[in-house]
Structure 1
């Protein structure tokens, strides 16, 4: 997937997160005991890390991950904020800003983060933070002569400073997996004619024993014979030191070889001094030739962020514009009613023209705010691919309904919750291939990301065909964390146990990793979704899979609705929820399970009387025997709303009921009609649920 198309979005969102970290750090200096501020910094760093990892910016990912480690210890009361810590974290933010400006200018965003990472490690270990002193190089060093690579004797420990953080991570993981890392210095004879050819033969032979992760000088310099007498290679292998030495010495015109075992723990002990100034290229694993040529590098380099064709408008300004237009829609309705009552042709024509113009204006304003969820969904295939490789799992991501449109306010906020849910499905949900085979499942797991409209809501599903939720493990963790008591645990249903995953700080991962297990997962998802006026639920079937369902309001200020009358009250039913309006005679009404139902095109549909639902008093006016019904739906479920009469279709302005009328059942808001009356807007999804 070409991530360049998302570069502009990444740069702008990263600027916002870095600014948020800066602002909260300043607040934290004045209130170092505030865990809430630490949590805000942590979440911004966590989101920034996820975005950087998706875009492939390794140094930014590494630095934000190490920042997380320190902040995580602070919020768990294992570290105390002090001036040294603040200085180091501010330095981290400066580095992040430098990387981001590099990326925005078309660079690769690479920075030497080794020194600041070492300082973060010192903080974690409770050691004194040593500020790195500027390094003074001798005049005759290789830095003074960039054409010549270093040919210096050094211990394995001192050479570790030449590794960047990514290489240190690779070395560490390889050692944990049972491999050994060796530093190999090879010297060629003084009378050697083709030094580059000998270097290539040594490189090729060593690569047959394992994986070469670094050369000094770079592969390109070796190929172009830009070295004096010796060169160095770092090799990861399971072979013995003797085997390595004999392999190198089998190449003719080699004078000698030095092989030393690299102790990766020295990196942590010495805090990794600042890296050498010259740039060094890493050969790709399994590659026998030099690195990419400049022309190839240009093709793979990130494009410079485009500017000038679009502008970022503060969403609050769009909110003000929408509110002003909403008032215009109310006045338009009033004018249409007056024109109808006065029946003056000139007034009627003018009002009709104004209605057409305002309709076009309304369409433009709504289009400005509505964007397809594809903008968010398209970031995930690359992320799933990389995580699947890291977890050694076979996973297929299926995206459905990417064209579903959602308000920009919501689009900007749902990316992080979806990342958490997808990572949860990949790590905890889908099983490894061998376990899937044993369970009679295909080796490749399926993760489905689906979006669809239902009424005036958008639903997003994250579904996997994995092992389902391990309820015993969840309950044990909840008891251990004090989320529930022993007495409460005995009476919990399976659904309630599943919902415990949304408890603050609850994680079922056995160890902390980049993928999950930090305790910032599902509680953050729930908090974020609820702040958007939505809800999230989970449904799991052991051995079959798990589905997370997010319900989000469209948050549109203007919607099309059907106005209906019930006694003296008027109600609005969103057109997006309506299948059909119909009139039934009393003998067509049936009863099933103590519920009035109708036969609608071969389906049994339950009836819901709005008069009974909202306890509307009888006005004493005789009514027709026939029953007016609006057939509404939520997904594949349907219901029939019984009303007295249909008034007609109208554009209405969605108004909040305010903070004093929250969570009113089956009512999503209200609208002001042209005659000044207030009509409640029916929430069909809540009715059917």
Structure 2
């Protein structure tokens, strides 16, 4: 089963997510039986998959959940908030079990409490048939046997005749499962495994498809050709758990009348036989042969394979740059044409590979409706969550990292932002608070906004807390802009919560958010208005591995500045440089911008130079700007961002390195660190 484990885990996660999403919809529309059926189908499929893979605890809990859902769709139970709380609790356990399996465990978990609650829901309504999922009644084993013999087609009869002539035993086995058997399809599978080791199964009643879908009561029949004795067969099948009885009877072709031996066009219950099915399939294929048949064009690809592909392409980009440099130096026309063509093709290939790594941000957003529901109940608040732009795509690497920061921001908005219904009513607001999660593309960036209509940020409270925590001095407070005050809440250990709770108040959260986002090359800004609400806006790069940069020269060294942080490049005369607070600044479009000589920051050995003009790169982080003084601009280029590794991870203002076309290594500047 190990080869199917990855598929099982991925599909289980999808079904659990579907359960969460559809249960939230059902809570708003308790009479929507169509949605109940959707939820039931997800639970039923998950149960079958778990049983087949041998994860009994997971299958058992899903079966209990299935009982409650089945009672709801059969109008034996009504959907209530209390019932859904228990169902959500069960789904949480299912998710934990799947995560345990994904990390190499067996999916074991103590679920007695939630099982007791699920059973109590059933017992309270006196549901006698809650676990019945069958839609059709199959005759008892004796009747099944008679149907088994009467539904044999010409091919099957020929096989039986030849087996009889070669002195094989032909048996009809009637297998009865226990009344409390929960995993009927799994037991059938195990019985068939044993029988196929001992001989050849010719026919079953019900048909195999019905057995797999559990469309039968407690018994089924099998026609078997074998050399094994009847009692040995019986004992082997009885070893399968939850088997009540096995009746093994010899089967003889002489007992079948001439009428029954004729080719059958259909089985007695109206289901086509294998012969007819084959004919129908052949006919169907013939009809389709003249048409274009569109199948499923999607495949699952392990992210490690995409990472390996990306690494190989990054090496190709480095070699492409090297070839471009060589062709320029040699000035060979044919070589230059070939390199230009190669550059265009590799550019298209780059777009394809990057798009393969792009996944909808919905993979992160889809966990939040359930989380918001639970938090609102815990905090005694009413929240309406709106999600916009869930289809917006982002690089898989960024997707994996952005989930936790968003969780912190949403918890912060619900706890500190949105007020209780009583407080909101007193302020003349609707009792139900609003929380909006929005994602959209803009240029080479993705923006994520978390907006609430709560109390906003209390600036005085923030300033007082920052002073008491020693984050700022009292004399600095009066000169702070609103934006600077809002940024204080992202300082390490900062919290304005009056008491510590499970949700917040420990001073951990927004500093982690800020650090994570900046490590991804992104920024976070805050806007707030007292009693109107707050907006937390996150700006992230589309991808992290191949970036566009401006190459600059500082003395003999080359550096790369990401284009995403550059506003403009300017050349300034030395007489236009002014001094403010003993630091060099320039007037850039009416704003005072401080200058940062890169040769001082990176301690580049200075050479004597007498320049009347300075080359400056204007960079921005949020509302702040700075001018990086360089010796010259080389030009724009796409480069591969390579990490410096753990040993050099703390080098100031350097985010990585790249290999240029001439083989030199250029360090990539972290302009955010310089502006800060």
Q: TM-score, length-normalised on structure 1?
A: 0.50
Count of residue pairs the alignment pairs up: 436
Residue in 2 that maps onto 1:646: 633
Q: Is the 8 A contact 1:332 1:674 kept in 2?
A: yes
Residue in 2 that maps onto 1:276: 128
Q: Is the 8 A contact 2:550 2:634 kept in 1?
A: yes
Q: Is the 8 A contact 2:597 2:630 kept in 1?
A: yes
Supply the distance in 1 between the matched residues of 2:8 and 2:590 (Cα, whole angstroms).
Answer: 54
Superposed displacement of residue 410, structure 1: 2.5
Supply the distance in 1 between the matched residues of 2:411 and 2:652 (Cα, whole angstroms).
Answer: 34
Against the structure 1 CA distance between its residues 372 and 607, is the aligned structure 2 distance closer, same or farther, given a 3 Å change threshold?
farther
Superposed displacement of residue 320, structure 1: 0.8
Q: Is the 8 A contact 2:554 2:599 kept in 1?
A: yes
Matched, 1:310 2:298: yes
Superposed displacement of residue 656, structure 1: 0.5
Match of 1:438 among 426, 436, 441: 426
Residue in 2 that maps onto 1:93: 58
Against the structure 1 CA distance between its residues 16 and 359, is the aligned structure 2 distance closer, same or farther, given a 3 Å change threshold?
same
Superposed displacement of residue 566, structure 1: 0.5
Against the structure 1 CA distance between its residues 164 and 552, is the aligned structure 2 distance closer, same or farther, given a 3 Å change threshold?
same
Against the structure 1 CA distance between its residues 497 and 592, is the aligned structure 2 distance closer, same or farther, given a 3 Å change threshold?
closer
Against the structure 1 CA distance between its residues 359 and 552, is the aligned structure 2 distance closer, same or farther, given a 3 Å change threshold?
closer
Q: Is the 8 A contact 2:552 2:632 kept in 1?
A: yes
Matched, 1:334 2:186: no
Against the structure 1 CA distance between its residues 404 and 167, is the aligned structure 2 distance closer, same or farther, given a 3 Å change threshold?
closer
Q: Is the 8 A contact 2:417 2:453 kept in 1?
A: yes
Deviations along 1:500-559, whole A, 9 cap, x unmatched? 4899xx9625xxxxxx6899x959986995898579989788866566566756552211
Supply the distance in 2 between the matched residues of 1:420 and 1:546 (Cα, whole angstroms).
Answer: 15
Q: Is the 8 A contact 1:455 1:576 kept in 2?
A: no
Q: Is the 8 A contact 1:571 1:681 kept in 2?
A: yes
Q: Is the 8 A contact 2:383 2:435 kept in 1?
A: no
Superposed displacement of residue 331, structure 1: 0.9
Against the structure 1 CA distance between its residues 404 and 267, is the aligned structure 2 distance closer, same or farther, given a 3 Å change threshold?
closer
Supply the distance in 1 between the matched residues of 2:454 and 2:424 (Cα, whole angstroms).
Answer: 8
Match of 2:344 among 348, 356, 364: 356
Coordinate RMSD, CA, aligned = 5.6
> What SS is found at the alignment partner of 1:356?
helix
Against the structure 1 CA distance between its residues 166 and 360, is the aligned structure 2 distance closer, same or farther, given a 3 Å change threshold?
same
Q: TM-score, length-normalised on structure 2?
A: 0.51
Deviations along 1:377-425, whole A, 9 cap, x unmatched? 58868986998799663657485x7786521233255456535643552
Match of 2:668 among 650, 674, 681: 681
> Structure 2 stretches of 5 or more lacking a match?
1-5, 27-34, 41-53, 87-115, 134-293, 473-484
Matched, 1:629 2:619: no
Residue in 2 that maps onto 1:15: 9
Supply the distance in 2 between the matched residues of 1:344 and 1:435 (Cα, whole angstroms).
Answer: 76
Supply the distance in 1 between the matched residues of 2:301 and 2:459 (Cα, whole angstroms).
Answer: 46
Against the structure 1 CA distance between its residues 94 and 423, is the aligned structure 2 distance closer, same or farther, given a 3 Å change threshold?
farther
Equivalences for residues 532-571 of structure 1 within 5 A: 545=533, 554-571=542-559
For the pair shown, which has the larger CA radius of gyration, 1 or 2? Answer: 2
Against the structure 1 CA distance between its residues 645 and 492, is the aligned structure 2 distance closer, same or farther, given a 3 Å change threshold?
closer
> What SS is found at the alignment partner of 1:597?
strand
Superposed displacement of residue 583, structure 1: 0.6
Supply the distance in 2 between the matched residues of 1:595 and 1:430 (Cα, whole angstroms).
Answer: 43
Matched, 1:508 2:501: yes
Superposed displacement of residue 323, structure 1: 0.8
Bigger shift: residues 331-340 or 550-559: 550-559
> Structure 1 stretches of 5 or more lacking a match?
1-11, 21-43, 63-88, 100-109, 116-142, 144-148, 151-161, 173-265, 282-305, 475-487, 510-515
Deviations along 1:277-325, whole A, 9 cap, x unmatched? 25899xxxxxxxxxxxxxxxxxxxxxxxx98232221111111111111
Against the structure 1 CA distance between its residues 529 and 272, is the aligned structure 2 distance closer, same or farther, given a 3 Å change threshold?
farther
Match of 1:393 among 382, 389, 403: 382
Equivalences for residues 384-463 of structure 1 within 5 A: 393=382, 395=384, 397=386, 399=388, 405-412=393-400, 414-415=402-403, 418=406, 421-422=409-410, 424-426=412-414, 428-439=416-427, 445-449=433-437, 460-463=448-451
Supply the distance in 2 between the matched residues of 1:267 and 1:374 (Cα, whole angstroms).
Answer: 32
Match of 2:648 among 656, 661, 665: 661
Superposed displacement of residue 606, structure 1: 2.3
Residue in 2 that maps onto 1:467: 455
Supply the distance in 2 between the matched residues of 1:680 and 1:350 (Cα, whole angstroms).
Answer: 29
Q: Is the 8 A contact 2:360 2:391 kept in 1?
A: yes
Deviations along 1:423-477, whole A, 9 cap, x unmatched? 5523552113441353466766453435578998766443434236899999xxx
Supply the distance in 2 between the matched residues of 1:580 and 1:435 (Cα, whole angstroms).
Answer: 48
Against the structure 1 CA distance between its residues 591 and 619, is the aligned structure 2 distance closer, same or farther, given a 3 Å change threshold?
closer
Against the structure 1 CA distance between its residues 339 and 471, is the aligned structure 2 distance closer, same or farther, given a 3 Å change threshold?
closer
Superposed displacement of residue 686, structure 1: 2.6
Residue in 2 that maps onto 1:618: 606
Residue in 2 that maps onto 1:485: none
Residue in 2 that maps onto 1:345: 333
> What SS is found at the alignment partner of 2:67?
coil
Deviations along 1:134-190, whole A, 9 cap, x unmatched? xxxxxxxxx9xxxxx99xxxxxxxxxxx75895753799xxxxxxxxxxxxxxxxxx
Matched, 1:608 2:596: yes
Against the structure 1 CA distance between its residues 501 and 579, is the aligned structure 2 distance closer, same or farther, given a 3 Å change threshold?
closer
Residue in 2 that maps onto 1:198: none
> What SS is found at the alignment partner of 2:450?
strand
Supply the distance in 2 between the matched residues of 1:528 and 1:94 (Cα, whole angstroms).
Answer: 41
> What SS is found at the alignment partner of 2:650?
coil
Equivalences for residues 476-487 of structure 1 within 5 A: none
Matched, 1:112 2:67: yes
